[in-house]
């Protein structure tokens, strides 16, 4: 096998592993294992990639949660409601209906 051909195969394998790693961050553990079973990787490397995917997913979700919390903490709800009340009229439509209860045992209609 020529050196360039060998390097090309290794490069393709690395691309697949990296792409799988990024994709795995958004997949379930079983989904990651399914994707990785098609790659010619040692078991310990597959286990490591699955563990890294779980950790990355956990860190990503935590980061998004913290960013969202920080953004929401900066919002003054009272002020925003006042802005909405100044710009919009509120219209409420409601339907109320009374329905007779079904007879139970020993009850009169």
Higher pLDDT, 7 or 54: 54
3-state secondary structure 43-93: HHHHHHHHHHHHHHHHHHHHHHHHHHHHHHHCCCHHHHHHHHHHHCCCCCC
Work out the pLDDT band at 27, boundaries 50, 70, 90. low
In a domain, 25, yes or no: yes
Angle at 86 between CA 80 and CA 91, to 5 degrees: 100
In a domain, 103, yes or no: no
pTM, 2 dp? 0.41
Q: How many domains does the chain have?
A: 1
In a domain, 93, yes or no: no
Structural domain harbouring 56: 3-87
In a domain, 67, yes or no: yes
In a domain, 71, yes or no: yes
In a domain, 33, yes or no: yes
Work out the pLDDT band at 44, boundaries 50, 70, 90. confident
């Amino acid at each position: 096998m020529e050196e360039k051909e060998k390097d090309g195969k290794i490069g393709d394998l690395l691309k697949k592993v990296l792409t799988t790693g990024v994709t795995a961050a958004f997949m379930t553990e079983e989904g990651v294992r399914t994707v990785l079973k098609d790659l010619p990787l040692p078991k310990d490397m597959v286990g490591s990639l699955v563990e890294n995917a779980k950790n990355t997913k956990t860190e990503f979700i935590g980061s998004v949660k913290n960013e969202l919390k920080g953004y929401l903490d900066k919002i003054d709800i009272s002020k925003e409601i006042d802005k909405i009340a100044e710009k919009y009229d509120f219209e409420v439509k409601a339907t109320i209906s009374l329905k007779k209860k079904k007879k139970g045992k020993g009850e009169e209609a």
